[in-house]
Every structure is written in structure tokens, then in C-alpha cells.
């Protein structure tokens, strides 16, 4: 069940109406937990038990950590949480990957071996909810958070359906306190939430799903495209993955807001960043901050030697790439971004901010940053390294230009999208959103939906990040 399907609208409307009709806080939380189970069970009811096993493990360990005082005992319980969560994630997501990699490596060494792999189905959202559940244990271990007051609260924190299968990755320190007070409709900013949901819907159904077939063709048959059309196709993939993922995040945040809850901002106009460090402060914010707080800083962060800092960055982005999927192409994507960040830090360390060279670097950053991101998106999207190399070669001019019609069809579309993206950051419609009479807002909102719906792509396409 995805947010752009009709059955989701039915489920959410039912959830919304019953939620606000219930008087007690416990009843509301129990109802939301039930709705979350229905939402997740619509994907595969078998994996509900796995999700509850994960959250039960961390709930119990969190309760023990709240009482345990011995440092050795606390470390042991934390290790148990990490092993349990990563064990589940590793088995379902990486078992076949590591077996296949071992077989390929042994063959390369001239020691052929055979191995049977299990046909393991990847649970939807497992990477998201395991990281979310683990963050709770980390925070309790650090004494930055008290254990959850009830199993119901913790279960709802992990399973809350708006963000369950593709984020944002919510921190317990941000969400659990919201469960302690009874929500009032008067406190809900309904208009911004409704607008945000529509924006997310348009991103996903009207933009990402529209360009998806074209992107699929490019990466399936890159040899059929010339230099200009290949560049346009890669840009379209950048558009697709941004609109797909940020569209989901927008709709998730909006649905949560309509139920009275705040979720973490996950995207902040990343393609307008003028350096790669800023890009990662704006792209998938909840994941990058998770790796920063629970891995990079514990490894020493910026407090260690320069060489150690750079190796830590490489490790973090190696794991970031692996988190995205059990393929070496994802790992290379992560290492490319890690290398970008290292190069950016080297530049900042060696070039004075007041120098002409620094000013020159800043002036071309708006070109170099998206270029670097685009080159990395190629290997992220490509089915294998051969296809990635073919696309890169086409971008550099191999094969000439044999598909001018493709270029002229999509170039204006990309230009318009970029202009809208830049202008939307100014939030020129915010005053109307806040100050317009109810009838005017309702009329404008209805017209916006009427304009958007004819542009919805035929059929429904799962969100890209569901596979992660």
C-alpha cells in the first residue's frame, strides 16, 4: 500500500476520523498502532512478527539499561541490541550478497566453489525501522533518554505508519515525548499539512512516475542514446529519485501532522547546494544525521587526526552505500560521496577562505556539486558496473548523438522543473496559505488537485526507497 493509492486514502480517512473521535490518549495510541499494523500487513503480514520481534528486543533492553548501573553490564546489553538488530538486517538483506561475493572472489582467485543461497524475501522498510529502533537503545545507553513508559508507546514509535517503510528515520527523543500529551485538533496546522501532502503527491505521482519509464529505458539500453540525450536521462533520474523520495517524506510528514505529530524534516532543497557538504546536510537528513551521531562522532568525528577523520568519512559512506542495498554499485556510490567529502575538506583546509582561489571555488560550486552528484547517481541506478561505464562513456561523447528528438522532448521539462524548484524555496504562497478565508483556501486546494490529477502517471509505482 503506497500513499498515492486509493485504498490508502480510504485507510487514512478512516484512521483520521476515528483517531480524533476517541477521547483517551491510550485509546488513540492503540488505534494508531492497529492502523500501522494494517498498513504494514498490506505489504506482507508475515513480517509483522519480525518487526515486533525487533521492537520487543529493544524495548526490553531499553528497560534493563534504565536500571543497569555497571558499565560492563550496560555495554553488554547495548551489544546485544546491536547484534540482534544487525543480525536481522544482515540475514534478510545481505546474506545472499555476501555468499555471492565470496563465490565470485574465490573464482577470481582460481578456487571455484559453489554455494546455495536461500530465496530470502526482503521485508519492506527493514533498514528504516531497525535503525530507528536501534537509535532508541543508543540514546538510553547514553542516558540522553529515559526508557519508554509503556510497550504501547514504544511500539507506536517504531511502527507509526506514515514513516514506517521509508522514513524519515525518527528519533525516540523527538517522538516519545509527543505521546505523553493528549493531542488537540486546535493545535494542528492543517493547512500547511494539506498543502505539503499535495506537493508530495505531485512529486511522486505526476513527476517521478512520469519520468520513470524513460529512465528505465536509458539504463536498460544506454548504447542507444547519444551524449545529449544521455545527460538528459541522467538528470531525469536525479529528478525521479528526488521527487520520489522527498515526495514520500512530504506525504509522511503531512499525514503525521494531520494526526497531531511532528516528524523530522528529511529534505531541504539539496540540489541547490553549492558544495557537497551542504548537499549532505540537505539530502536524506534523517539518515545522514543518524550516521553522524551514532557512528561518525563515536569514531572521533572531527576531534581526531586529519587522516583518521578522512578514513572515518570513507567508512561511514561505505556503510551508507551498503545500507542502501546489497550491491557493490551502491557501495561504490557511497565511496564516491565519501571521496567527494574528503576532497572538499582538503580544499577547505588548504585554501584560505579570503583568497581569490576560494572565491573562484565558491563561484563554480553550483556547477561542480550537481555534476558530482549526477556522476554518482549513474552507478547508483545502473544495474551493474558495465551499464554504469556505458552511461559514463556516453556522457563523455562516446557514440555521438543519435536521439535529438528525445533531447528536445525532455530538455524543456527539466528546465521548467528546475525553475519551479528554485522559486518554491521562496514560499511565495505562504501568506495565502495562512491568511486566506477557509472558502478561498478550500477552493484553491480543490483546483490544485483538479489540475494535478490529469498528470498522474498510469498505474502505481512503488517508492524507490521501499527496496532499501
> Can 421 be counted among the known catalytic residues?
no
CA pair distance 315, 321, nearest whole angstrom: 10
Q: Phi and psi for 115 in degrees, rounded to 5?
A: -150, 140
Torsion, Cα of 4, 5, 6, 7 (10° steps): -130
Q: Measuring CA to CA, which residue among 196, 195, 194 is closest to residue 247?
A: 196
Spatial contact of 252 and 203, defined as CB atoms under 8 Å apart: no
Of the residues 19, 324, 337, 344, only one is catalytic, namely 324
CA pair distance 159, 203, nearest whole angstrom: 25
Return the half-sphere exposure (C-beta side, CA atoms, 13 A cut-off) of residue 121: 8
Secondary structure of the chain as H, E, C letters? CCCCCHHHHHHHHHHHHHHHHCCCHHHHHHHHHHHHHHHHHHHHCCHHHHHHHHHHHHHHHHHHHHHCCCHHHHHHHHHHHHHHHHHHHHHHHHHHHHHHHHHHHHHHCCCCCCCCCCCCCCCCCHHHHHHHHHHHHHHHHCCCCCCCCCHHHHHHHHHCHHHCCCCCCCCHHHHHHHHHCCCCHHHCCHHHHHHHHHHHHHHHHHHHHHHHHHHHHHHHCHHHCCHHHHHHHHHHHHHHHHHHHHHHHHHHHHHHHHCCCCCCCCCCCHHHCCCHHHHHHHCCHHHHHHHHHHHHCCCCCCCCCHHHHHHHHHHHHHHHHHHHCCCHHHHHHHHHHHHHHHHHHHHHHHCCCCCHHHHHHHHHHHHHHHHHHHHHHHHHHCCCHHHHHHHHHHHCCCCCCCCHHHHHHHHHHHHHHHHHHHHHCCCCCHHHHHHCCHHHHHHHHHHHHHHHHHHCCCCCCCCHHHHC
Residue 286, Cβ density class (10 Å: 0-12 exposed, 13-18 middle, ≥19 buried): buried
Q: In whole angstroms, how far apart are CA 230 and each of 12, 138, 235, 330, 419?
A: 40, 44, 9, 21, 21
Residues tagged active-site = 324
Amino acid at each position: 500500500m503506497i500513499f498515492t493509492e486509493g485504498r490508502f486514502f480510504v485507510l487514512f480517512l478512516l484512521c483520521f476520523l476515528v483517531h480524533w473521535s476517541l477521547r483517551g490518549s491510550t485509546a488513540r495510541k492503540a488505534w494508531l498502532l492497529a492502523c500501522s499494523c494494517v498498513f504494514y500487513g498490506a505489504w506482507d503480514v508475515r513480517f509483522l512478527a519480525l518487526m515486533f520481534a525487533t521492537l520487543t528486543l529493544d524495548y526490553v533492553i531499553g528497560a534493563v539499561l534504565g536500571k543497569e548501573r555497571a558499565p560492563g553490564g550496560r555495554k553488554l546489553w547495548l551489544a546485544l541490541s546491536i547484534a540482534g538488530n544487525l543480525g536481522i538486517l544482515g540475514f534478510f538483506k545481505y546474506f545472499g550478497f555476501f555468499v555471492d561475493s565470496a563465490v565470485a572472489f574465490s573464482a577470481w582467485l582460481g578456487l571455484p566453489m559453489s554455494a546455495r543461497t536461500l530465496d530470502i524475501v526482503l521485508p519492506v522498510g527493514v533498514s528504516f525501522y531497525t535503525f530507528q529502533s536501534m537509535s532508541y537503545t543508543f540514546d538510553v545507553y547514553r542516558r540522553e533518554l529515559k526508557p519508554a513508559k509503556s510497550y504501547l508507546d514504544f511500539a507506536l514509535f517504531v511502527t507509526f505508519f506514515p514513516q514506517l517503510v521509508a522514513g524519515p528515520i525518527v528519533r525516540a527523543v523527538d517522538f516519545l515525548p509527543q505521546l505523553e500529551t493528549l493531542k488537540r485538533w486546535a493545535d494542528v496546522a492543517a493547512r500547511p499539512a494539506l498543502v505539503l501532502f499535495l506537493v508530495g503527491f505531485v512529486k511522486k505521482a505526476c513527476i517521478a512516475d512520469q519520468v520513470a519509464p524513460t529512465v528505465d529505458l536509458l539504463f536498460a539500453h544506454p548504447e542507444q542514446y547519444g551524449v545529449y540525450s544521455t545527460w538528459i536521462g541522467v538528470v531525469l533520474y536525479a529528478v525521479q529519485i528526488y521527487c520520489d523520495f522527498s515526495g514520500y517524506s512530504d506525504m509522511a510528514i503531512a499525514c503525521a501532522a494531520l494526526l497531531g505529530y511532528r516528524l523530522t524534516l528529511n529534505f531541504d532543497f539539496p540540489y541547490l547546494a553549492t558544495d557537497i557538504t551542504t548537499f549532505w546536510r540537505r539530502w536524506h537528513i534523517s539518515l545522514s544525521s543518524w550516521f553522524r551521531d551514532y557512528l561518525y562522532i563515536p569514531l572521533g568525528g572531527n576531534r581526531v587526526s586529519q587522516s583518521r577523520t578522512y578514513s572515518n568519512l570513507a567508512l561511514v559512506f561505505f556503510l551508507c552505500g551498503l545500507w542502501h542495498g546489497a550491491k557493490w554499485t551502491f557501495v561504490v556510490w557511497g565511496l564516491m560521496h565519501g571521496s567527494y567529502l574528503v576532497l572538499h575538506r582538503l580544499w577547505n583546509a588548504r585554501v584560505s577562505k579570503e583568497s581569490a582561489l576560494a572565491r573562484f571555488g565558491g563561484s563554480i560550486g553550483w556547477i561542480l556539486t550537481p555534476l558530482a552528484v549526477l556522476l554518482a547517481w549513474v552507478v547508483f541506478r545502473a544495474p551493474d558496473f558495465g551499464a554504469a561505464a556505458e552511461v559514463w562513456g556516453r556522457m563523455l561523447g562516446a557514440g555521438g548523438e543519435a536521439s535529438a528528438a528525445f533531447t528536445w522532448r525532455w530538455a524543456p521539462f527539466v528546465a521548467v522543473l528546475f525553475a519551479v524548484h528554485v522559486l518554491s524555496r521562496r514560499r511565495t504562497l505562504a501568506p495565502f496559505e495562512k491568511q486566506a478565508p477557509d472558502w478561498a483556501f478550500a477552493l484553491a486546494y480543490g483546483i490544485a488537485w483538479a489540475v494535478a490529477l490529469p498528470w498522474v502517471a498510469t498505474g502505481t509505482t512503488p517508492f524507490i526507497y521501499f527496496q532499501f
